[in-house]
Homo-oligomer: A and B are copies of this chain.
Amino acid sequence: MKNIGIIVNGVTGRMGTHQHLVRSLLAIRREGGVELSGGERVMPELILVGRSEEKLKRLAAEHGVARWSTSLEECLASEEYPVYFDAQATARRFPDVKSALESGKHVYCEKPLATSIEACLELARLARERGRKNGIVQDKLFLPGMRKLKRLVEGGFFGRILSVRGEFGYWVFEGDWQPAQRPSWNYRKEAGGGMILDMYAHWQYVLEGLFGRVKSLLCHGAIHIPERVDERGVKYPCTADDSSYGMFELASGVLVQLNASWAFRVYRDDLLTIQVDGTEGSAVAGLRDCKVQHRSFTPKPVWNPDVPSALKYRDGWEDVPDNMVFDNAFKTQWEMFLRHVAEDAAFPHGFVEAAKGVQLAELAYESWQKRQWVDVPRLAEV
């Protein structure tokens, strides 16, 4: 059993606490660490870092984490912690990740890595020069539904893939007669809000991870709900896009269409669903489930609106069985990253990938503004 010290910075928020601390790192500890290829195990040893002593103290106590600190500098200076994890607010990430790399830490980060492609690439270069491992959270790729899709792609189920159509979103209440279920900064451009900024980074790695490189894109954004009521009950104008309608051409020739909105009502199997059509078969994946229709049982529907359809179209699809236990998406990627650090196992989610996510969002805003397709240039090799 080997220990591996991790500086865990910025997990006092809901998402950081829940997904990274409790469901990933502490869950790994409860299971006795991560098993490596040779059978040994690596146990994460954590120190929580943050700005509020009170919050850190309470969080550490609540979850039985022995160490915490308000001085990142001291932590980075210590040899005890070879890994730095950052889930802070975006604005603070770049300088702290940079310091961490300069202190010789391996670095794993929440997205976005930075607010510009250049800054991302600068960190990627720095990591390469210092020979440090680097990783970016790409959790959606590890959702059970997406992993089943990946399995289908790799198993050649689809034949030649023709098209991919997906939709993410649900109705976020306006905050007047029912409280909104998302924070108001999501709807303010100046606070870093916006659906495109949020989702295009996800679309990038989901598409590239499942279907290959994005060659060009067309994006149309919208502020469907122009006024909302904030946490204090005060009306505010929405300055950030709450919806995006996008198309993508992949290098493989596949045509992709992906929508995301906080002003859709959900008539789907799940909050995110992706349909893939191929010559040999089609699949529809949600967060956990995935259904397929192979061409062997594809029906020939008849157009006759004079009577109710005799075919219940969804009944002609079959569930893809789990065939394995799917662990929490965040935890799965954490385990990969720890193996990457501990024994140099493959980890295709580095800082260059982080830059691609930022790039796709930037190009999407450009396409929206220009009202035309834009190409996605390959990022210069780092």
- A-to-B contact residues, CB < 8 Å: 23, 143-145, 151-152, 154-155, 157, 162-163, 165, 170-171, 173, 177-179, 181, 218, 220, 222, 224-225, 243, 245, 247, 255, 257, 259, 261, 263-271, 275, 277, 279, 281-284, 286-289, 291-301, 303, 305-306, 308-309, 313-314, 316-321, 323-324, 328-329, 370-373
Cross-interface CB contact of A259 among B170, B257, B321, cutoff 8 Å: B257
Cross-interface CB contact of A294 among B145, B218, B292, B308, cutoff 8 Å: B292
CB-CB under 8 A from A289, the residues of chain B are 308
Report whether A143 and B305 are in contact in the complex, using a CB–CB cutoff of 8 Å. Answer: yes
CB-CB under 8 A from A245, the residues of chain B are 247, 255, 257
Query: Considering only CB atoms, which chain B residue lies closest to A320 in the complex?
Result: B297
Query: Considering only CB atoms, which chain B residue lies closest to A162 in the complex?
Result: B224
Bound Cα distance from A329 to B277, whole angstroms? 31
CB-CB under 8 A from A293, the residues of chain B are 265, 267
Bound Cα distance from A269 to B313, whole angstroms? 6
Report whether A321 and B299 are in contact in the complex, using a CB–CB cutoff of 8 Å. Answer: yes
Known: A225-B279, A300-B173, A371-B373. A317 touches B155 (CB 8 A): no
Report whether A163 and B264 are in contact in the complex, using a CB–CB cutoff of 8 Å. Answer: yes
Query: 7 shortest A-B CB distances, which residue pairs?
Result: A372-B372, A265-B282, A155-B177, A287-B305, A371-B373, A300-B323, A162-B224
Bound Cα distance from A243 to B314, whole angstroms? 21
Closest Cβ of chain B: how far from A26's Cβ, in Å?
14
Known: A269-B313, A305-B288. A155 touches B257 (CB 8 A): no
Report whether A294 and B291 are in contact in the complex, using a CB–CB cutoff of 8 Å. Answer: no
Cross-interface CB contact of A224 among B163, B179, B268, B281, cutoff 8 Å: B163
CB-CB under 8 A from A328, the residues of chain B are 306
CB-CB under 8 A from A165, the residues of chain B are 259
CB-CB under 8 A from A371, the residues of chain B are 218, 372-373
Query: Considering only CB atoms, which chain B residue lies closest to A158 in the complex?
Result: B296
Known: A267-B291, A305-B287. A220 touches B247 (CB 8 A): yes
Cross-interface CB contact of A298 among B171, B282, B291, B297, cutoff 8 Å: B171
Cross-interface CB contact of A163 among B178, B261, B269, B308, cutoff 8 Å: B261
Bound Cα distance from A104 to B163, whole angstroms? 50
* Sample of 27 A–B contacts (CB below 8 Å): A143-B305, A155-B177, A170-B301, A173-B298, A218-B220, A220-B247, A220-B255, A222-B255, A243-B255, A245-B247, A257-B257, A263-B277, A264-B275, A264-B282, A265-B277, A265-B282, A265-B298, A266-B313, A271-B301, A288-B305, A288-B308, A292-B297, A296-B320, A297-B320, A316-B318, A318-B318, A371-B372
Closest Cβ of chain B: how far from A363's Cβ, in Å?
14
Closest Cβ of chain B: how far from A87's Cβ, in Å?
17
Q: A157-B294, A266-B299, A271-B303 are in contact. List 10 more A-B contacts (CB 8 A).
A: A151-B177, A151-B178, A155-B295, A157-B296, A178-B323, A220-B247, A224-B277, A265-B277, A267-B313, A271-B309
